[in-house]
Amino acid sequence: MSASKFTDQAIVVVDPSSGVRPVMSAGLRKIGFTNVVASASILEILPLLKTQKVDWIITSALIKSKANVLQLLKLIIAVTQLRELKISVFVEPDESFILLKAFSLGLFSWHQRPFNGESFDAVVALIKKQMVQYSGDTTLVAAEYLRPLLADRSADLLAFNHKMSAAYPERADLLLPLAECQFRNAEHSKARALLWKAIQMDESLDASVNKISERYSDREAFSGSEDGKLDIKSCVVIDNDSAVQNGILGLLQNCGVEQIDVFSDGLSYWTWQQDNVCPDLIVMEWKIPKLSAPLLIQRLKASGFGGAPIIVHSSLVQKSDESLLKEMGVMEVVKKPFRRDHLLNCLIGTLRQNSRPTEVEALERKIFGLLEAGKLPEATGFMQIYVKNHANQDGKRKHLEAEFAFATKNYKEARELANTAIKLGNKNVSLLNLLGKVLLKLRDFSTALEIFNIANNIAPDSIARLCTIAETHEEMGDTGKALAVLEKTTTLDAENQKVINTKVNIGLSSGNAEMVKESFDKFRPSENILSFINNRAVGLIKAGEIDQGIKLYGNVLSTLPAKGNRSREVVAYNLALAYARKNDLSSLLATLTDDTVFTDSVLKAKATSLVKRAKVAQDNNKTLNLSTESTAEIVVKESVSSKLINEFVKVDGKKPDFCCHSVFLWEEKNDLVEALTAEPLKIFTKKKNRFCRQLQLRASGRFFCCVLKGPLRAPREIPVTIPSSPPLLCAT
């Protein structure tokens, strides 16, 4: 917000003293405000709030009056049209007990009484400066006035700063007060990790970070753990700069890391990783030769080597890379050149959040990983921690609930939860990926493609998502588009396991034997080779398109090894069932011959039973009646019937509204406060009889009088001409 825009606002000052109101009005005009009105009480301005837009009310507490500032704040919460109204209050020393409750109700700022013209001018000038500094964000300004009130309440201050940081994850400056709280609570490592994160996000905070560090430097020596050691045994460093390699190597050795492997390019590390156990930590440059970091990280994840926390250190990470970094699970990004203590701070924070997550993003990453690994009970435990400590994260919480629903195969519920998360302002790539996967399960392929394309616009070059898009095109029968997208993934990284698997799936589906043979031996894990093609055939047959399903099964059988392959056994059994549904018993018996070997005992029993029944039906020239329960097709993953999804709604992320109302809750019992808020104010009168009332408004010391007759909803104005007067708020 610019200074000129701020001073264009309409202001009402409220004070019962006829000597104070002119001082306040004059001070506001001196700063540059031109639209200022004065009133003696809150009750007098209620008609004005009904008919005119007021931006800011500066008032006394008025706790002994018929209407006080707490009642006014409660009224604003109740009336949606007033939620942008700012309330500042001047309090006497014995009135300060109302302030914490007032901030929980949305108070903008508080100031001390008594005051004179000079001190009032200083107050308004400071608020003007703060509004310009924070671009008109009233929550950030209000927080500046709330924090001093919580100085002696460490737990409340820590909780408030946590919520502010979570509400504004892009603001590095909000990490500083949170770090100070953690220093005071003896959580020194967490505090230092936050300071490091702040400096990485905004280098201009370096001086402020150093001041905080110096202030608490005598309380604890800087160390990674109680004995100065990092809690890991192995680490991989990937960087083609030997000086950087040596610097990180020395730091890790000093911290007691036993095994440190250093590589100058991504390909050499990838080759090494094939025959070695995953390290406890990977520290890597973003732009490395032969196999870049984005492709290497995605290859690791696709091949099951993606469990280690990753820290990227680079000066070459662009803003456009951030979504892909988060999608790939990179935990931190350190800008080069980095200070030794800042990097160590990052290592400490990253490892702690990886093992015992407390921050929003770390908990989300942990829960996503556990759900992907099928560890539902462990994920549920971390979800309980998330809900307890981050209750205000509505959009993100719905996303997590959707992930749980997807993991438990409640796809319709997952779809609704994902849509709710989007409407609450959560539009990150992970959520879009989830919604796309849910839609595929519900067989709404066209909408799924739209969602995946939106995600691609945010974070292009995600190989896993491009492969899913290619398979979706194939599901829809558009092999040309599927191959075009597959070609793009192959250009990015032909050795990515997801690319290899997708090539086999599309080859099986389209009957391209050459494509299948090129990559079949590299397909991993081999037992999941039917997850795409088999289920597609099952879906076609259940939909009545039996011939297409039979063709797909034939494509698979022509490429799979003849014996000792369970995938072939499943396909053969399902193909026989398809012939049975077509009442082609000869083809059924030709498929399940005496030479067909089943290594799975359950599948063998089903096949034997089906053959016996088919022979009996054929001998008696009858139709084979299939039992739904005993002869259902074997599926690798559950297939869900199609249903249309609600339209994807784009909603901007929501910040806290009405100052600190949504990020600060004060429920401590106080009889005086409860008495002051017991009687609600009403902006709309129910009184129907005609009345006459005089509304006194004072601006620039001049008296402006309107006589209102009749119902308040339709007042009549008697205009008063005041030459050379600044603009006044009209009472109607």
350 and 379 belong to one structural domain: no
16 and 159 belong to one structural domain: yes
d(CA 384, CA 393): 13
274 and 327 belong to one structural domain: yes
HSE-CB of 294 using CA atoms within 13 angstroms: 20
For 500-509, 677-686, 688-697, which range has the lowest pLDDT when averaged over its residues? 688-697
Answer yes or no: pTM beyond 0.75. Answer: no
Assign residue 394 the CATH number of its domain.
1.25.40
d(CA 708, CA 685): 14
289 and 269 belong to one structural domain: yes
Name the pLDDT band for 417 (thresholds 50, 70, 90): very high
Answer for the pair 35, 9: CB distance below 8 angstroms, yes or no. Answer: yes
Q: 113-139 b/e with 16+ CB inside 10 Å = b? A: eebeeeebbebbeebbebbeebeebbb
Task: Report yes or no on 283 lying in a domain.
Answer: yes
20 and 126 belong to one structural domain: yes
375 and 351 belong to one structural domain: no
Task: Report yes or no on 102 lying in a domain.
Answer: yes
348 and 370 belong to one structural domain: no
71 and 123 belong to one structural domain: yes
Tokens read off for 596: 């067909």
- What is the average pLDDT across 93-114? 93
Dump pLDDT digits (tens) for 698-725: 333 433 333 333 333 333 333 333 333 3
For 270-279, 510-519, 564-573, which range has the lowest pLDDT when averaged over its residues? 564-573
pLDDT at 238: 95
Answer for the pair 641, 441: CB distance below 8 angstroms, yes or no. Answer: no
Boundary (domain end) residue, out of 385, 417, 442 = 442
Assign residue 582 the CATH number of its domain.
1.25.40.10
Tokens read off for 477: 């029968």
388 and 304 belong to one structural domain: no
- What is the average pLDDT across 609-616? 88
Of 677 and 687, which is predicted with more confidence?
Answer: 677
350 and 373 belong to one structural domain: no
Q: For residues 81, 86, 90 and 95, what is the CA-based torsion angle, rounded to 10 degrees? A: 60
Dump pLDDT digits (tens) for 540-555: 777 677 887 788 777 7
Of 601 and 368, which is predicted with more confidence?
Answer: 368
Dump pLDDT digits (tens) for 122-150: 999 999 999 999 988 999 999 999 999 99
Dump pLDDT digits (tens) for 289-343: 999 999 999 999 888 887 788 999 888 887 778 788 888 888 888 888 777 777 8
Task: Report yes or no on 567 lying in a domain.
Answer: yes
β-sheet bridge partners, residue 86: 56
pLDDT at 627: 60
d(CA 719, CA 716): 9
13 and 153 belong to one structural domain: yes
Count of domains for the chain: 4
Cα Rg, the chain, nearest whole Å = 34
Task: Report yes or no on 48 lying in a domain.
Answer: yes
33 and 124 belong to one structural domain: yes
Q: Which domain holds residue 679?
A: 1-163+659-732
The single residue listed with the structure tokens 């280690």 is 308
Assign residue 723 the CATH number of its domain.
3.40.50.2300
Answer for the pair 106, 660: CB distance below 8 angstroms, yes or no. Answer: yes
